C-alpha cells in the first residue's frame, strides 16, 4: 500500500469511526468505564446541605469558619487495544476481512477514549509480540494506531494469546481498560488471562466469519492453513471431516467463553457481516 492510498484509508476510517464515537459511544463509554475514584479538588466554605464528613478541620480551626474538602471524579483512564495480526486475521468471505473489522472497532474505541481525554496504547500480537505502542493522548496518536493496524506486516502467522496477556501484565502495572480483538482460535491462555484480569478491566472481542464455523460440502479442495502456510487436500464431501472440523472450531469458541467468564472478563461476539456498532452499544449498555 503506497503512502497516498494509506492516508486515504486512514482518513476514511477516521471519518466513519469518529462519527460513531462522537454520536453514539462517547457517553456510553464514559458511563461504562469509571475513573479510578475521587481525587481532592479544593477547599471551600461550608454551605447548608454539605456533607459534614467532608469538613476540613485544620482549615476550619485556622479560619474559625467551617470549610469542607471538595472532591471530583478522577476521570483519566488508560485504554489498551490488543489486536491479533496472525494469518487467520486475513480471512473473509463477505463484505470485509476480519482485520478490516478489527481496525474499525479499534478506531471507534480509541476515539471514544480520546473524547474522555484518556490515553490509548496498542499491542499487536501473533505468535510473538509484533508491536507495542505505549499509551498516549490525542488525535495524531490515534491516527498512528490506525495506520499500524492497516499496514503492519507481522513476522509470524501463528497465534499465541497467552504470550500477549503475559506481555500486557509486564508492561501495564496500573489498571487499564483492555480490549482484545482476535478470532481466538487458540488455547492454553486461561492462566495468563486470569492474572491479567486480576489487575485490568478486560473485554475479549471475538471477530469471526460465518464460513469459519463449518466446512461446506464442495468435494475435494486444496486448502492452505493461514497460520502455518501448509497446503493440504481436504475431502469436504466426507461427513467425518466436516464433523471433526466443527468439533475443533466449537472447542476453541467454548474455551474462549469459559476462559473469559472464569476470569471475570467481558466478551463480545462479532461476525463480520453483522453490525459491530450494535454489538458494542449493547455491551456498553449492559455494563453501564
pLDDT band at residue 21 using 50, 70 and 90 as cut-offs: confident
pLDDT band at residue 114 using 50, 70 and 90 as cut-offs: confident
Report pLDDT digits (tens) over 174-192. Answer: 889 999 999 999 999 999 9
Q: Rounded distance, CA 38 to CA 74, Å? A: 5
Give the mean pLDDT of 6-10. 79
Confidence at residue 38, expressed as pLDDT on a 0 to 100 scale: 53
Report pLDDT digits (tens) over 133-156. Answer: 999 998 899 999 999 999 999 998
Least reliable range by pLDDT among 59-68, 92-101, 128-137, 187-196: 92-101
Torsion sign over Cα 248, 250, 253, 256 = negative
By C-alpha distance, which of 162, 159, 145, 68 is closest to 108? 145
* Secondary structure class of 237 (helix, strand, coil): coil
Domain with CATH 3.40.50.410 in the chain: 3-32+76-287
Q: Are 219 and 235 in contact (CB under 8 A)?
A: yes
CATH number for the domain running over 3-32+76-287: 3.40.50.410
| The model's pTM | 0.78
Cell (9 digits) for 45: 466554605
> Is the pLDDT score of 39 beyond 60?
no
Is residue 144 classed exposed, middle or buried when 0-12, 13-18 and 19+ CB atoms within 10 A define those classes? middle
Report pLDDT digits (tens) over 245-282. Answer: 889 899 999 999 999 999 999 999 999 988 898 898 88
Amino acid at each position: 500500500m503506497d503512502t497516498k492510498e494509506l492516508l486515504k484509508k486512514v482518513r476514511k476510517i477516521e471519518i466513519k469511526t469518529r462519527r460513531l464515537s462522537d454520536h453514539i459511544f462517547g457517553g456510553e463509554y464514559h458511563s461504562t468505564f469509571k475513573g479510578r475514584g475521587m481525587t481532592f479538588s479544593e477547599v471551600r466554605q461550608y454551605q447548608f446541605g454539605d456533607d459534614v464528613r467532608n469538613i476540613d478541620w485544620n482549615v476550619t480551626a485556622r479560619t474559625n469558619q467551617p470549610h469542607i474538602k471538595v472532591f471530583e471524579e478522577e476521570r483519566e483512564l488508560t485504554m489498551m487495544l490488543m489486536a491479533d495480526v496472525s494469518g487467520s486475521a486475513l480471512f473473509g468471505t463477505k463484505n470485509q476481512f476480519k482485520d478490516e473489522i478489527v481496525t474499525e472497532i479499534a478506531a471507534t474505541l480509541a476515539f471514544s477514549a480520546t473524547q474522555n481525554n484518556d490515553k490509548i496504547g496498542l499491542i499487536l500480537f501473533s505468535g510473538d509480540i509484533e508491536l507495542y505502542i505505549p499509551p498516549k493522548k490525542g488525535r495524531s496518536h490515534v491516527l498512528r494506531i490506525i495506520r499500524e493496524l492497516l499496514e503492519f506486516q507481522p513476522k509470524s502467522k501463528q497465534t499465541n494469546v497467552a504470550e500477549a496477556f503475559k506481555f500486557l501484565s509486564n508492561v501495564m502495572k496500573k489498571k487499564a481498560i483492555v480490549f482484545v480483538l482476535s478470532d481466538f482460535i487458540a488455547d492454553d491462555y486461561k492462566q495468563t488471562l486470569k492474572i491479567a484480569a486480576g489487575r485490568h478491566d478486560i473485554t475479549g472481542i471475538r471477530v469471526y466469519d460465518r464460513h469459519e464455523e463449518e466446512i461446506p460440502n464442495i468435494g475435494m479442495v486444496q486448502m492452505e492453513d493461514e497460520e502455518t502456510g501448509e497446503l493440504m487436500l481436504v475431502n469436504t464431501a466426507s461427513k467425518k471431516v466436516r464433523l471433526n472440523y466443527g468439533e475443533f472450531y466449537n472447542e476453541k469458541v467454548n474455551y474462549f467463553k469459559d476462559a473469559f467468564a472464569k476470569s471475570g472478563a467481558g466478551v463480545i461476539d462479532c461476525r463480520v457481516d453483522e453490525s459491530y456498532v450494535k454489538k458494542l452499544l449493547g455491551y456498553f449498555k449492559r455494563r453501564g
